[in-house]
Amino acid sequence: MKRVVIFGECMVELVSTSATELKKSFAGDTYNTAVYLKRNAPGLSVSYLTAIGEDFLSNELLFAMGDEQINTDHVYRCSKRNLGLYMVRTDKYGERTFAYWRDGSAATQTLNVMTQAPDNIEMFYFSGISVAILDVEQREKLFDLIKTLRSSGCRIVFDPNYRPRLWRDQQEAQEWMDKSYQVADIAFPGGDDHLALYGHTNADDVLAHLAPFGIGEVVMKNGAVGVHIVNHQGQFIVPVQTVTNVVDTTAAGDAFNGGYLAARLSGKNVTESASFGAMVAGTVIQHPGAIIPADTLRKAVTP
Ligand code: ADP
């Protein structure tokens, strides 16, 4: 069985459903990818590497991971810390506003409380958010771990997922993003992220920035515009079928990545995998929330 480890933070998600009611669930960029990867490639072993607290919400998250058949062998407990939390409010025009309480969450301590580094794995996945929430010492530990994994043949996958408020400033973010691209075998740059982080206004700018890193597989997402891929065979654009009934674009990129990797790890080529990732993302954005019900996804998408 192929083993994948996904590293990051899963938070409590509170969505206001009326003036007085909140719906609780669990989400976070890398966790969303873990869920969509496992759902679309049930034969894979998908472990989530993170730290959680000892509180009841942390216990509920463990059960949620169990429901999704995500392995918790790399979930560590951090006493005196809690899960991060975010809240989403949608106004009457459908505009969503997010508020976060994640500073000092248990996940910010993952590399300090990890007792057994993952090894013998096929793939390791992390994002710019996974890096941003760590202090510099832990970032160095993360890159040491990645170096060790890479030298054992593990493929490293990176999505920048730029969130300006998690970084000291833009320059710090650029430095760590570039360091991350440097160790990536597969990268998922997003058009919006590169515009905000580097001022890139088109795919050529993004791909030119990434060229010196020698990444084997670059998969650039750009909403409904299409997916640009660069690998050893050259550069291609995979068209995306436009979704007109967009309900909520939260986790579109995460869902794409999960679907893409599920297809790649099942032996599909890059073009087939991009179409599959787009199908998963295109389904997710037609439903509210980061993680849509499993049967809703199953009815729309067949792995
Ligand atoms: P991110 O969430 O990382 O900003 P994008 O907005 O580029 O990423 O969206 C990720 C993927 O979601 C796209 O590659 C595409 O497959 C799908 N997607 C997003 N918006 C649409 C849309 N309007 N119609 C169809 N697919 C979409």
**pLDDT digits 0-9 by tens, 209-220:** 999 999 999 999
Mean pLDDT of 57-69: 98
- Indicate if ligand 1 lies below 6 Å from the C-beta of 223: yes
The verdict on the CB of residue 57 being under 6 Å from ligand 1 is: no
Q: Which residues pair with 85 in a beta bridge?
A: 12, 101
DSSP letters spanning 175-213: HHHHHHHHT-SEE--BHHHHHHHH---SHHHHHHHHGGG
295 carries an active-site annotation: no
Structure confidence at residue 91 (pLDDT):
77
Q: What is the pLDDT of residues 227-260, one digit of tens each?
A: 999 999 999 999 999 999 898 889 999 999 999 9
CA distance 219 to 261: 11
Amino acid letter, residue 114 = M
C-alpha of residue 252 to centroid of ligand 1, in Å: 5
Task: Quickly state the pLDDT bin for 284 (edges 50, 70, 90).
Answer: very high
**Pocket residue to mutate for ligand 1, from 194, 256, 272, most atoms within 8 A of Cβ:** 256
Q: Does the beta carbon of 256 sit less than 6 angstroms from any atom of ligand 1?
A: yes
Cβ 239 under 6 angstroms from ligand 1: no
pTM of the model: 0.97
What is the pLDDT averaged over residues 141-153? 98
Q: What is the pLDDT of residue 96?
A: 82
What pLDDT shows up at residue 38?
Answer: 98
pLDDT of residue 302: 78
Ligand 1: residue of 159, 163, 249 to mutate (most ligand atoms within 8 A of CB) is 249
Burial class (CB in 10 A: 0-12, 13-18, 19+), 253: buried
What pLDDT score was predicted for residue 294?
95
Each residue of 9-42: pLDDT tens digit?
999 999 988 889 999 999 999 999 999 999 999 9
Length of the chain: 303
132 lines ligand 1 (CB under 6 A): no
Q: Is the pLDDT score of 195 beyond 80?
A: yes
E-assigned strand segments in 32-182: 45-52, 75-77, 85-90, 96-101, 123-127, 155-159
- State yes or no: ipTM above 0.90: yes
Q: Please report the pLDDT score of residue 206 as a whole number.
A: 97
Residue 118 exposure: Cα atoms within 13 Å on the Cβ side: 32
Chain center to CA of 28: 7
If you measure from the C-alpha of residue 79 to the centroid of ligand 1, how many angstroms do you get, rounded to a whole number? 38
Percent residues over pLDDT 70 in the chain: 100
Average pLDDT of the chain? 95
